[in-house]
Amino acid sequence: MTVDGTGVLLDPYDYDFHEDPYPYYKRLRDEAPLYRNDELGFWALSRHADVLAGFRNSTTLSNREGVSLDPVSRNKHASKTMSFLAMDDPDHLRLRTLVSKGFTPRRIRELEPRVTEIAVRHLDVMMERAADGGTVDYVAEFAGKLPMDVISELMGVPEPDRDRVRAWADGVMHRDDGVTDVPPEAIEASLNLIVYYQEMVAERRKKPAEDLTSALLEAEIDGDRLTDDEIIGFMFLMVIAGNETTTKLLANAAFWGAKNPDQIEPLYDDPGRIPLWVEETLRYDTSSQILARLVTGDMTLYDTTIPDGDVLLLLPGSAHRDERAFERPDEYLIGRDIGAKLQSFGSGAHFCLGAHLARMEARVALAELFTRIRGYEVDEANAVRVHSSNVRGFAHLPISVKAR
């Protein structure tokens, strides 16, 4: 199953791999930097320099069938649910530029007070349930609610609908053990979301509001406008890419913070350092672990020619633990020099448009949490990981907190 017969195995659907992928990644980097899995039909790059070059090569490595390994999602219609993430230039550049007219840094900045309000509201409930030393599910009460509510706030989804929309978004991503494709439940959840957003877009066409959905309807460059399908595709991308990854980031930060109490202790009295906590979490245990590309035209790496039409996986989760790029990469060190070496949001033409939103949400959420607590513990034995071929994080993370 490997290029060089070393016996290294990478199966992105394997539950053991989900529990701890990092030993697998190390073997890949050392023994099979260009890896081949014949059974699942993909190649993979695991070293930092190779993954970065892969992200920046948008000519030979195409996005046109999307970024997921799941076979049913890899087709010429991938852009219907992945928007410009499943496009190449010039289509990608056109759509991204139009979307950027509505999804502006200013709109994100102006959203921050509302993000704070939403975070406070969820924390009020979580802290009440955690009173008297009780255990509370940090994901169910906080990390799993905030990002979806923020995206719904941004788009203009009414508050009574948000729980339902959040449940559909979760349903799109979940995979049971042994499932190597998109299950019927996820397809049904996707259709529910699309129908909901179709109705919302139709409503905004008749009656615009002060939200992103209306801004996208109004976005225009030299007479060119977004179609309804393009707007719905972007909204779907926001819900899946923006919601899932930020939820995982918040839970991963809490988990590794609890495992490294000496690293987070200074943050209780110096919230200005919380962005450094966010960055180290993005490096050490990134939400987006695996992204697929389609090889267009023959590509030669490590004296091996990868045929046109094959799937190549880029592994930022592995790149961030590469000792060729980071000193002591397996240590969780808040404040280390990461800089431009971070690949959690990709690089090049497809750099994540929502990176500033994700960082702002994480900073606000963790700062609000730390103004209320003086310590916390994770019940690791009862923590439950998400099972996905792309993202890494927790479905449930029970914690107990020590209020200030």
Using CA atoms, how far apart are residues 404 and 373, in angstroms rounded to an integer?
Answer: 5
Tokens of 66: 């999307």
Q: What percent of the chain has pLDDT over 70?
A: 96
**3-class DSSP state of 197:** helix
pLDDT of residue 180: 61
Split at pLDDT 50, 70, 90, the class of 131 is confident
The 10s digit of each residue's pLDDT in 258-280 is 999 999 999 999 999 999 999 99
Cβ neighbours of 113 (radius 10 Å) = 10
User: Would the pLDDT of 175 be above 80?
Assistant: no
3-state secondary structure (DSSP) of residue 86: helix
Q: Which helix (H) or strand (E) holds 61?
A: strand 61-62
DSSP H or E stretch at residue 112: helix 105-129
The pLDDT tens digits for 43-64 are 999 999 999 999 999 999 999 9
26 or 186, greater pLDDT: 26
pLDDT tens digits along 82-102: 899 999 999 999 999 999 999
Q: Look up residue 310 and give its amino acid.
A: D
**Which domains are delineated in the chain?**
15-403 (1.10.630.10)
Kindly indicate the confidence band of residue 176, based on its pLDDT and cuts at 50, 70 and 90: low
How many Å apart are CA 248 and CA 395, to the nearest integer?
Answer: 9
Residue 65 has pLDDT above 50, yes or no: yes
57-87 burial: b if 16+ Cβ within 10 Å, else e: bbebbbbbbbbbbbeebbeeebbbbbbbbbb
Residue 1 binned pLDDT confidence (cut-offs 50, 70, 90): very low
- Residue position matching structure tokens 């056109």: 94
| 8 Å CB contact between 290 and 69 | yes
Average pLDDT, the chain: 93
Other Cβ atoms less than 10 A from the Cβ of 6: the count is 14
Lowest mean pLDDT among 125-134, 153-162, 330-339, 372-381: 125-134
pLDDT of residue 281: 98
Is the Cβ–Cβ distance between 65 and 294 less than 8 Å? yes
Instruction: Inform me whether the pLDDT recorded for 172 exceeds 90.
Output: no
Q: What is the pLDDT of residue 186?
A: 85
pLDDT band at 150 (very low <50, low <70, confident <90, very high): very high
Q: 272 is written with which tokens?
A: 């200005």
State pLDDT tens for residues 231-267: 999 998 998 888 888 999 999 999 999 999 999 999 9
Given this model, what pLDDT does residue 2 score? 44
For residue range 278-290, list pLDDT tens digits in order: 999 999 999 999 9
